[in-house]
Amino acid sequence: MHTNIDRTKIPVAGTIPGFSLLDETKLSRIKLSNGIDLRTYRYKKLPVVQLYIVIHTGAYSDPVQKAGMTNLLSEMLDEGTQNRSTLKIADDFDFLGTHFNTWAWMDGCGVSMLSLREHLDASLEVVSDVIQNPDFPETELTRIRQNVLTKILQEADQPNVLATKAFVKKIYGDDHPYGYPILGTTDTVTSIERGELSDKYSRIFLPNNASILIVGDIDAEEIANKLESALSGWEKGNALSAGVQVIPDRGGNEIFILHRPGAVQSQIRIGHRGLERKHKDYFPVRVMNQVLGGQFTSRINLNLREDKGYTYGASSLWDMRKFGGHFLAAGGFQGEYTDKSVFEIIKEFREIRDKGIMVAELESAKDGLIRSLPRQFETPSQIATQLANVALYDLPDNYYDTYVENVQRVSLEDVNRVAGMYIQPENLTVVVVGDADSIKTPLENLGIGKVIVMDAKG
């Protein structure tokens, strides 16, 4: 049994398993009579059903002086309907052991539900009530609004949240909805009234503006019939269309310090405008970012964590949304190494832009992206998330069938081209939440741009 193995050699992997990400025979797409785009995937391992209802309009549609409205609307959905009080809704779900959540994001909002198969009908009844008949009771709104305002107040405690909020504000400016937090601001949330919520509800919660994703132990026809009857009262309408807002140009580097006296660590965000989700260079940019900062062994983390020990972790990200996006590197760094951390991150930006990447890095990044796919399709919520992504960003139905091919096709020239085009180390917005008294002068001495000190709230 104990055959000798040669430990000095890395074991060679056997054949790559054949795997279709979404088995065609388990997948179906049906248009329900009131216009709902229903996508289902059959999952048989456990007797559970995962449901997402995705509304194709999000916080992007909120006027900036009413930032936070879509979030408040989604939070109010399960706070009372014409048939059920807020406590009754919660009790109905909890009694069934059904998990129910509402959510809002820039490009969409909606609800999610996970239930046992045996409790599907009872759970669906409550979900359909919440979706079709929310009542936005004034007393509950007062409580929920106060809850949101308190959350906003508490964000002042979290340097990482402050840093990201200040960064997006600088990138998108005061007039673009992406520059505002999902929760809104104290002023905007205070100003939102019940009538505005019910009006917004009637303009975005429309069956013709919704996709429903179902992954579970139920076949497509059966769930389609259940939804037809559960949502039969949900009527079509004209969905609100949000106009495209222009993202302002910024020229040159700027460094903003949000002063937190005595902070032992600096939260740093460095980046600039990015790309929209459906950009033609999506795949080369994904591959490039794997090399730069998208995973543990990326250049930025290996340099700043594993080599220098300045941080517990540093990464980079392309946040690609429906109407634009941004690029940033982020992390929390030991206060005394703030300037060195900024310097090293910008050095990595310059390196990849000017010199590109190596063939070995290209192959690793592509292999990693492709080989990571199977484990991202294991659970119903993972599969539903992938389906929701396709629906929300209006990606082709065969998106996951062609995914591997699209990654494979990315060449060294593609990556080097997008690194050269889209990474702009001379056009950076740098936000540092830290102790200005000790980090301002070192940051000025870097000589990369003007340093502006603000209070901790930006």
Partner 1 sequence: MPLNGAVTFEKYTLDNGLDVILHIDRTVPVVSVNLWYHVGSAREIRGKSGFAHLFEHMMFQGSQNAAGGLHFKLIEDAGGTLNGSTTTDRTNYWATVPKNYLELLLWLESDRMGWLIPAMTEKKLRTQIDVVKNERRQNYDNRPYGLAFEILSEHLYPEDHPYSWTTIGSMEDIGNASLGDVTAFFKQYYGPNNASLCIGGDIDIEKTKSLVAQYFGSIPSGPPVSRMKPRIPDIRDAIYLTHEDNVQLPRLYMAWHTTHVYGHDDAEMDLVVDALSHGKNSRLYRSLVYEKQIAQDVSCMHISREIGSIAIVVATARPDISLRQIKQTIDEDIDTFVGDGLTDREFDRVRNAQKSSFTYSLQRVGGFFGVTDRLNEYNIFLEDPGFINNDLTRYLDTTKENIRSAGEAYLQPDKRVVLNIVPKGKTELAFK
Tell which positions 1-30 bind partner 1, by CB under 8 A: 1-3, 5, 7-8, 10-11, 13-19
CB-neighbour burial class of residue 106 (10 A; exposed 0-12, middle 13-18, buried 19+): buried
Measured from the CB of residue 203, what is the shortest distance to partner 1 in angstroms?
A: 28
Q: Return the residues of window 328-357 that contact partner 1 according to CB under 8 A.
A: 332-334
Q: How far apart are CA 387 and CA 42, in angstroms?
A: 13
Structure tokens at 15: 């054949």
Q: How far apart are CA 84 and CA 92, in angstroms?
A: 10
Q: Return the residues of window 199-238 that contact partner 1 according to CB under 8 A.
A: 217
Q: Return the residues of window 40-59 that contact partner 1 according to CB under 8 A.
A: 45-48
Query: Residue 115 or residue 211: which is nearer to partner 1 going by CB?
Result: 115
Measured from the CB of residue 43, what is the shortest distance to partner 1 in angstroms?
A: 8
Query: Residue 77 or residue 247: which is nearer to partner 1 going by CB?
Result: 77
Query: Residue 379 or residue 424: which is nearer to partner 1 going by CB?
Result: 379
Binding mask 292-321 for partner 1 (x = CB under 8 A): ---xxx----x--xxxxxxxx---------
- DSSP single-letter state for residue 425: T
Structure tokens at 239: 């969905």
Query: Residue 245 or residue 334: which is nearer to partner 1 going by CB?
Result: 334
Measured from the CB of residue 3, what is the shortest distance to partner 1 in angstroms?
A: 6
Query: Residue 233 or residue 374: which is nearer to partner 1 going by CB?
Result: 374
Binding-site residue total for partner 1 (CB under 8 A)?
Answer: 79
Measured from the CB of residue 298, what is the shortest distance to partner 1 in angstroms?
A: 9
- Burial call 21-49: b when 16+ CB within 10 Å, e when fewer: bbeeebbbebebebebbbbbbbbeeeebb
CA-nearest of 247, 104, 254 to 177 is: 247
Measured from the CB of residue 93, what is the shortest distance to partner 1 in angstroms?
A: 8
Among 185, 379, 385, 389, binds partner 1 (CB under 8 A): 379
Among 67, 114, 120, 268, binds partner 1 (CB under 8 A): 114
Stretch that binds partner 1, among 204-212, 326-334, 397-405, 417-425 (CB under 8 A): 326-334
Measured from the CB of residue 282, what is the shortest distance to partner 1 in angstroms?
A: 19
Distances from the Cα of 438 to the Cα of 43, 104, 255, 432, 445, angstroms = 56, 39, 15, 12, 12
Q: How far apart are CA 131 and CA 85, in angstroms?
A: 14
Q: Return the residues of window 382-421 that contact partner 1 according to CB under 8 A.
A: none
Measured from the CB of residue 211, what is the shortest distance to partner 1 in angstroms?
A: 22
- DSSP single-letter state for residue 28: E
Q: Are strands 429-434 and 254-259 parallel, antiparallel or unpaired?
A: parallel
Task: Give the distance from CA 94 to its chain's centroid.
Answer: 27
Measured from the CB of residue 318, what is the shortest distance to partner 1 in angstroms?
A: 18
Among 65, 154, 238, 241, binds partner 1 (CB under 8 A): 154
Q: Binding of partner 1 at residue 82 (CB under 8 A)?
A: no
| Residues 6 or more apart whose Cβ sits within 8 Å of residue 110 | 52, 53, 54, 55, 74, 102, 103, 210
Q: Are strands 108-116 and 99-105 parallel, antiparallel or unpaired?
A: antiparallel
